[in-house]
Amino acid sequence: MKQVMKNIDFLLETHLDFDTDNAPDEEIIAQNRLLLESSYYSINCMGEDVSPEAKVKWEAEDKLRRADGESLVTFYTGRWSEWPPKHNCRGCCTDRSDAVNKASKLYKCIICRRLAVPSLNKWLSLWPVVAFFCVALCLHGLFARAYSLTSFGRENDESSGSSEGARLGADAARNEKKLFKRQKFFREKKSREFLNTAGLKELFFQFLHDGDPP
């Protein structure tokens, strides 16, 4: 995930549209906010029978999620379905470099820390990871672009043939490390393929509301 975050920095540095001449388009901001309202803001994962304590906890967490979402809406002021990312600055940044740093910090603090492990079983099953993965898909496709730039190694480097396995058989610790790296490679390869699925955003919104994984 460290490499993915470095790629996010690179993409923002090279592509962020820093606009100091025009005010944000309120219609676009409203559309971006509606996107959040129609995804994880509106999802109640508590079920019908919950204790008062659980309800209070969920409401507090929902309030924090909405605050985070509003931070994204007010900073990333371009149409989220389009590339590149855009920030219509209203005096909150000293220059473009400052805007890039703020955009990166905001994205990492709100989204990346919840997607720390690139694993489909977490992206598709753990709340609120599911919610923030949906945001990651929609916000200019930044996460998928950064992930696609990441090199996780080559399959023939990460997998071991029978002769190599025999040679390493005496060293259990080294063998275990080799197995872990191989599993990691295939997990990340599968995640990359998933992110390139045609119509993924639409499928994911359907998943959020109907409970059927993409």
pLDDT of 83 reads 95
d(CA 6, CA 73): 23
Q: Which domain holds residue 97?
A: 2-210
d(CA 138, CA 174): 41
Pairing status of strand 86-88 against strand 17-19:
parallel
* Tokens read off for 48: 């019908």
What's the pLDDT band for 150 if we cut at 50, 70, 90?
confident
Q: Which tens digit of pLDDT belongs to each residue from 89-121?
A: 999 999 999 999 999 999 998 888 766 655 666
Single pTM value for the model: 0.73
pLDDT of 124 reads 58
d(CA 208, CA 214): 10
- Count the domains in the chain: 1
- pLDDT average, residue stretch 67-77: 93
Q: In sequence order, what are the residues at sequence separation of 6 or more whose Cβ sits closer than 8 angstroms to the Cβ of residue 7? A: 145, 146, 147, 149, 150
Q: Taking the CA atoms of the chain, what radius of gyration do you get in angstroms?
A: 20
Q: Among candidates 81, 121, 103, 123, which has minimal Cα distance to 18?
A: 103
Lowest mean pLDDT among 38-42, 157-161, 165-169, 208-212: 157-161
Lowest mean pLDDT among 6-20, 59-73, 74-88, 168-182: 168-182
Angle at 152 between CA 163 and CA 3, to 5 degrees: 150
What's the pLDDT band for 135 if we cut at 50, 70, 90?
confident
d(CA 41, CA 29): 16
Share of the chain above pLDDT 90, in %: 32
